[in-house]
Structure 1
């Protein structure tokens, strides 16, 4: 049995703005074509009458060739009362390993995102220091930034 992780989907109020945010902050690259999906098959799949989805897939950084993607979509009709919290049931956050957590957090803020909680450093076994922070994209989706440093001994 073959199993392969394919993508994570974000439903955005404005898929183009959210897609540009991830491109600018994390270097994600659009994978053509842009999607414009509708029809009976989509209504059956989603259980939503007259569903219409627009958006695109983004190649995630750090992969060569065949990689998982971040799928940014908008529906013609959306439920917007979905509070995003770090301890909410369901998918909680996307995580990116970065060289400089503070610098990427600053880019997130410059592009209209925000910070959730404090930037922290903590010691792990074997002389490893981890740096973490939770941030939010421009529509409030939670992003974890992490960096791992092995102490030179």
Structure 2
């Protein structure tokens, strides 16, 4: 059986604003068409009554035209979610390899994101020096910025 990673789904309060954040800061590219999904088939698949989803896929950087996407969707009816910490079980963060971690961290802050911690660095034998920092996008989802040298 052939297996290929396709996408990660991120549920947003405002999918357009969040997609714009990832396009501007992380060089993600929209993959049309915009989605506007509803109907019995969606209710059956989600286990929700009257589900209505809108959103868009964004091609992640560095993988070409057939690489995986970040699927940013919004439901008309959103459940509340507690803040996620680095040690919360489940999916924790999206990671982006960047040239300059401090500069990208400042760009995230300027675009409405927030910091989780401070810059961390570590020498990894036979691999190099790692610099990384956890941040949050404008909706509170965690992002790891990292650079190897």
Same fold by TM (over 0.5)?
yes
2:19 equivalent in structure 1: 19
2:45 equivalent in structure 1: 45
1:142 equivalent in structure 2: 142
Deviation at 1:49, TM superposition (A): 0.4
C-alpha distance in 1 between matches for 2:103 and 2:26: 12
2:68 equivalent in structure 1: 68
Answer yes or no: is the 8 Å Cα contact 2:59–2:65 preserved in 1: no
Deviations 1:24-44 (A, max 9, x none): 110111110000000000000
Uncovered stretches (5+) of structure 2, i.e. residues with no partner: none
C-alpha distance in 2 between matches for 1:117 and 1:75: 30
Deviation at 1:127, TM superposition (A): 6.2
Deviation at 1:68, TM superposition (A): 0.2
Normalised to the residue count of structure 1, the TM-score between the two structures is 0.95
> How many correspondences in the alignment?
149
Deviation at 1:143, TM superposition (A): 0.3
SS across alignment from 2:144: strand
Deviation at 1:118, TM superposition (A): 0.8
